[in-house]
């Protein structure tokens, strides 16, 4: 019970810390919502190539976009900054289990992801004439929030290899181009054919296809293939993060 309490307290304070950092909390929540207003609501009545209105289609893709940002920056940038400040070494001197430290950051990213998804649901229902069943909303929430684990792993790798000043630019260089090339800003079927082929190798594309499959609007490929692609990407990112962690351990202890 004591260990559970430690984990819950760490999650609470990690979330409050992120919430009180407007440089993280405001862009993380508002960026996907503003994009959805510009593209999802303005073009909301237009049908996608699956007959699904764009306002509904883009809830799934901008949900992916928001989740990736919350995970990549929440994990990657904060880990890099805390490494640079020596805060991780301070944490090691306490009896707090290491799972509480990293678990709190994952949970914080999931909480912010949930806030983004709820914001998209509210905008779509209020202004986009989007009608989702409760089951569809729960499925989409589950897919996107569980998919955040892949991008928390990517963020952890960035956090261990980037410095405190370079982590945010590096994260942006990963975040924005892959989001566009994966069809998260505009539907992937609107991209040139070579870019549609490139999207097959990008993890955000596979998460978005799982999300879109809830509405029957995926671009093909089995659900299993998208899940496997995300699992492989997660394993590769965790392996890179572990290599970075071992490098830090070597510098500290020889």
From first to last of its 254 residues, what are the pLDDT tens digits of the chain? 778 998 999 999 999 999 999 989 999 999 999 999 988 887 665 655 556 788 888 999 999 999 999 999 999 999 999 988 887 777 777 778 888 999 999 999 999 999 999 999 999 999 988 889 999 999 999 999 999 999 999 999 999 999 989 999 999 999 999 999 999 998 888 899 999 999 999 999 999 999 999 988 887 678 999 999 999 999 999 999 999 988 877 666 55
For the chain, the domain total comes to 1
Count of positions (residues) in the chain: 254
Rounded Cα distance between 86 and 2, Å, is 26
pTM of the model: 0.92
Domain hosting residue 177, numbered range: 2-253
Q: Which residues face 47 on adjacent strands? A: 53
**CB-CB neighbours of 145 under 10 Å:** 19
What are the structure tokens assigned to 164, written together?
């405190």
**DSSP track, 25-54:** HHHHHHHHHHHIIIIIITTTTSB-TTS-BH
């Amino acid at each position: 019970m004591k260990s559970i309490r430690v984990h819950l307290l760490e999650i609470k304070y990690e979330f409050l810390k992120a919430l009180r950092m407007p440089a993280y909390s405001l862009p993380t929540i508002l960026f996907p919502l503003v994009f959805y207003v510009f593209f999802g609501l303005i073009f909301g009545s237009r049908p996608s190539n699956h007959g699904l209105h764009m306002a509904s289609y883009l809830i799934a893709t901008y949900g992916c976009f928001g989740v990736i940002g919350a995970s990549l920056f929440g994990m990657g940038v904060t880990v890099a900054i805390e490494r640079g400040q020596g805060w991780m070494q301070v944490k090691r001197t306490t009896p707090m289990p290491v799972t509480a430290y990293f678990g709190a950051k994952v949970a914080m990213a999931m909480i912010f992801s949930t806030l983004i998804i709820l914001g998209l649901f509210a905008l779509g229902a209020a202004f986009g004439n989007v009608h989702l069943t409760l089951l569809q909303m729960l499925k989409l929430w589950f897919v996107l929030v569980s998919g955040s684990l892949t991008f928390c792993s990517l963020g952890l790798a960035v956090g261990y290899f980037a410095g405190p000043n370079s982590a945010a630019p590096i994260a942006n260089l990963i975040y924005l181009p892959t989001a566009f090339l994966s069809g998260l800003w505009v539907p992937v079927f609107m991209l040139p054919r070579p870019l549609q082929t490139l999207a097959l190798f990008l993890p955000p594309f596979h998460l978005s296809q799982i999300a879109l499959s809830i509405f029957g609007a995926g671009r093909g490929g089995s659900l299993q293939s998208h899940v496997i692609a995300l699992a492989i990407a997660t394993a590769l990112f965790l392996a890179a993060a572990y290599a970075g962690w071992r490098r830090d351990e070597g510098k500290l202890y020889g």
